[in-house]
Amino acid sequence: MIRRIEQNLAEITGFIILASVFYLVVVNERWTVKTIVLPESLLAFNTIFLSILIEAVPFVLIGVFIAGLIQVFVTEEHIKKLIPKNRIMAVGMSCMLGALFPACECGIVPIVRKLVYKGVPIFAGVGFLLTGPLINPIVIASTYMAFGQDIRIALLRMGLGLLIAIVIAAIISLLFKGNQLKKSASLLELDQSTYRFPLLLRIRAMFIHSVDEFFDVAKYLIIGAMLAAFVQTYVSTNTLIGMGEGIIYSTAIMMGLAYLLSLCSEADAFIGASFRHVFPETSLLGFLIYGPMLDLKNTIMMLAVFKLRFVVFLMIIITLSVFGVLMFVHPWI
Amino acid sequence: MYFHTQEAIKAIILLLFSGFIFMLHHTGEIIKFINPQYTAFSQIASVIFLFLFFIQVPRIFISKEQAEDHDYCTILGCNHEVGSARKVPLKSVLIYSIVLFPLVTGFLLPYKDLGAAEAVKRGICYTPNEQHLHHSEELVTSNKVFHEMMESPVLILNNLNFSVYVNNILTYPEFFDGKPLVLEGFILVGDDHPFLARFLVTHCVADAHVTGLLLSSDDNNLRNANDWVKVYGLVDTIENNGQVLPIIQVKEWKQIDQPKIPYVYP
C-alpha cells in the first residue's frame, strides 16, 4: 500500500492541490466552528494574532530568501574583503548599510544570522540589525505623514536612531568576541564552499535553504505574534499611561509600550502620534526608536538565533542606550 | 526510495499557508486583517508559498543513490537519516504544532471586527494630531483637502477620506463651524457626550486605533455603545480645559448595520 502511494505521490499531491482550489472556488464560504461559543475577546485575540502574522509573512519570506541567497552565494572571503579591518569603520559601515537596506524587524533576523555565520563580526551584525528596520524610506515617509506632515520628528527619529545604533554597536564590539550564535546542526554541515556545484543546483539549494530557514523562523514569529496579540487584547493602554508622570516615567512607559505592542516599524508612527497629546516629544521618540530595535516579537526570534546570555545583554544595552541618549538630549528637544 | 515524514509535513504546511492566504483574498475576508492597499504583499506571499511547496515536494523522497552519496551534503543539507525517516521526534512535533496553530485557528474560528470593547482598551483621542495655536491663513491655504472641504456644501465622509476629514475638523474646528456633514460609525460612551468612532487601520488591525468626533444630542437612544449609526449634523465647537474641540450637533440619525468594511484608512 505504502509503496503504491509512494509511486504515485506526484499525482496525489497534484490532486490535493486541485481539490483544495476547487473547494475554495466552489464553496466560497468557510466552515467555522459554531458549536462552541468562544468569548469575544478570544476571537479578537485570534484576529489580531492572524493580522500580525499576515502582515509580517511577506517580509519574513523576503528575509528568508535573502538568507538563502547569502547561504549559497556569499562566501567568507567576500565578507572578509568587504568589512573594513578598522572596528570603528566597521561599526559605521554596518549602521549605514542597515540604514540603506529596507527591512522590517522580523525579516532582518534571519539575514543577520546568515551574515554573522559567514564571518561578519557580531557588532557589525548588531549595527545592521538595529538600523535596518529603523531607518529606511518607508519609515521616514510614514513618520512624516503620521506627525501631520512635520519633518522634525521624522528627522529626529532617524538621526537619534542612527546615533544610538552606533553607540550600541560600539559597546557590543568592546564586550563580545566570537559570533554568539547558537549551535545549530544544519548550519555546521555547510562549511565548505559551494562553488564546485553547477549554478542550477546552487539555485535549487538556495530555495531549499529558504524553506528550512522559514520553518526555523516561523515558530518564533508565531510565538512572538501570539504574545503581542495577547498584550494588545488584554492589556489596556490607558492603565499603562496612568501609571505616572514626569519625563523619566513617560519615556519608560512609551518604551515599554513599544516593546509590548511589537508593531511593524512602518506603521508604528501612527500609534506614536496618537499619544502626542499625552506625552512630550522625547517620550514619543523613545517609542519610535526603541520599538524597531527591540520588541517582544523579535526578542523571541533573536533567542532562536543567538545565545541567551548575548540576547539578555543586548536587550539591556539597547534599553539603557536608548533611554540614556534620550535623557541626555531631552533639554534640547 | 525513502519517504520522509518531516519533509512531507513541511510541504503540507507550506501548501496550507498558501491556501489560507489565497482563501482570505478569494472570500474578501482579507480586509478584516490588513489595509486593502497592502493586499498585493500577501498575494505575492501566497504565490511564494505555493512555489516553496513545489520546491519542497521532491525532498519528501530520496532515492537510494542519493541517500548513499554524501557529495551533495554540503549544498543541499544532509538528508541521510533514512533509518529514522518515518519517525518524527517529539521536539519536531512541538515545532510543527506551533506552526500549524495559526492555520487551525485561521481556518476554523470566525473572525471578529474590532468594536467598542477594543476601542476602550486602546484609548480614545479627541484632540488633533497636530496643534496649531495660530491658524494662519498661509498654513491653511497650503492644505488641499482643506480647500476641498471648504468648497463642498455637505461633507460626506467615507472609508478613504474619513481620517483626513476628521483630522482637519479637529485641527481647524472654527473654520468648519456650521458646516453640515454626514458620517457613519459606532458609538462610544464618553463622560458627557457620546463619541462617534471608527478604527483607523494603517497596515493591519494590530495597529488600529480609534478616530472620530464627539456628538451632541438630546436623544438618549444615541448612547448605546457599539451601535452603528449614520449621523447627519452640523459642526459646532465647545470649550474643554481651554481647548476648542469640535462637536457634531446631531440633526438626524438612524441605526444601521455594520458596514462591509468597518475600518477607515489613512
Residue A184's pLDDT is what?
A: 60
- The Cβ of residue B126 has, within 10 Å, a number of other Cβ atoms equal to 19
Q: Is the pLDDT of residue B244 over 70?
A: yes
B196, B185 contact by CB (below 8 A): yes
**Res A221: pLDDT:** 83
For residue B133, name the pLDDT band (cuts at 50, 70, 90): very low
Residues 168-197 in B contacting A (C-alpha not used; CB under 8 Å): 171
Residue A1 is assigned to a structural domain of this protein: no
Q: Position A157: which residue type?
A: R
Q: What is the pLDDT of residues B161-218, one digit of tens each?
A: 888 888 888 888 888 888 888 989 988 887 678 888 888 887 788 878 888 888 888 8
A151 touches B: beta carbon within 8 Å? no
Residue in chain A lying closest to B108 (CA): A32
Residue B96: closest C-alpha in chain A: A219
Q: For chain A, say whether B33 makes contact (Cβ under 8 Å).
A: yes
Q: What's the pLDDT band for A6 if we cut at 50, 70, 90?
A: low
A187 in any annotated domain: no
Chain A positions touching B108 (Cβ under 8 A) are 31-33
What values do phi and psi take at A144, rounded to 5?
-60, -45
Run of H or E residues at B21: helix B5-27
Task: Classify residue A20: in a domain, yes or no.
Answer: no
In order of start, what are the domains of chain B with their CATH numbers?
A: 2-108 (no CATH), 116-264 (2.40.50.140)
Instruction: Measure B142 CA to nearest chain A CA, in Å.
Output: 12
Distance, in Å, from the CA atom of A32 to the CA atom of A29, rounded to the nearest integer, reads 9
The Cα of A151 is separated from the nearest Cα of chain B by a number of Å equal to 12
The pLDDT value recorded for residue A314 is 92
Number of domains in chain A: 1
Chain A environment of B21 (Cβ under 8 Å): 54, 57
Is A33 inside a domain boundary?
no
Are A5 and A12 in contact by the 8 Å Cβ rule? The answer is yes
| Amino acid letter, A121 | P
Indicate the DSSP class of residue B259.
Answer: P
A182 touches chain B (CB under 8 A): no
Which tens digit of pLDDT belongs to each residue from A288-323?
Answer: 999 888 988 888 888 888 889 999 999 999 999 999
CB atoms < 10 A from the CB of A286, how many? 29
Domain-located, residue A275: yes
Q: Which residue has the cell 468648519?
A: B176
B80 interface with A at CB cutoff 8 Å: no
Is residue A14 a part of any domain in this protein? no
In a domain, A257, yes or no: yes
- Position A241 in a domain: yes
pLDDT at site B47:
92
Which residues of A, range 59-88, sit inside 8 Å of B by Cβ?
Answer: 59, 61, 72
User: Which domain, by its residues, includes A270?
Assistant: 47-179+196-332
